Amino acid sequence: MALKATIFKAELQIADMDRNYYHDHALTLARHPSETDERMMVRLLAFALNASDDLSFCKGLSTEDEPDLWRKDLTGAVELWIQVGLPDEKSIRKACGRAAQVRIYSYGGRGAELWWNQVGDKLDRCANLGVIDLPPAASQGLASLAQRNMRLQCTIQDGQAWFTDGQTTVQVEPVRLKAPQVASRRP
């Protein structure tokens, strides 16, 4: 019998001063049996950094043709494709062909550095691709906030994010490895 996903609930208050976005979200995250708390919380961070009313979690690990998060327009076209982890070059190129904007959130310290050294030069021509790396202390700190029922606040200012559950605060300073060369159609 296959293992089922573990369901996590998150009440997330976002105060994004960089984009003037202030909103509360009631989110349900399904953690795949092979997914760690760290990866799930990086998905939650990616949601907070790109939050909008039409950004949604996808099936993720259980489906190869879907990202971790996406935002579609009213016609069903993918405006934003967000992948967490260290995807292979082929899947990144495919995503760049399917979506107006693609963002990769890598984490894992030395492993992420090695991954970027292998694929970075090969992805220079992907004009709609942005790659953001998260320091190991930040992604591990986020993992420490994981609970089945979470109440979190996220403040974003000057490209940095602070996550807190009221007792513990985790500061995240994302490192931009590659900026998209084309402007997004939406903020």
187 located within any domain = no
Q: How confident is the model at residue 59 (pLDDT cuts 50, 70, 90)?
A: confident
Kindly state whether residue 186 falls inside one of the protein's structural domains. no
The verdict on residue 155 lying in a domain is no
Residue 101 within any structural domain of the chain: yes
Instruction: Say what the pLDDT of residue 128 is.
Output: 97
| Alpha-carbon span 50 to 32, nearest angstrom | 22
**Position 84 in a domain:** yes
Is 3 part of any domain?
Answer: no
pLDDT at 183 over 70: no
pLDDT digits (tens, 9 = 90+) for 94-105: 999 999 999 999
**Structural domain count of the chain:** 1
Q: Give the closest residue to 42 by CA, choosing from 54, 25, 60.
A: 60
Instruction: Answer with the residue of higher pLDDT: 8 or 181.
Output: 8
The reported pLDDT for the residue numbered 62 is 55
Q: Which residue segment(s) compose the domain that 144 sits in? A: 37-149+168-178
Q: Over pLDDT 90: what percentage of the chain? A: 87
Is the pLDDT reported for residue 186 higher than 50?
A: no
Is 185 within the bounds of a domain?
Answer: no
Q: 124: domain CATH number? A: 3.10.640.10
Terminal-residue alpha carbon distance, the chain: 44
Residue 122 lies in a domain: yes
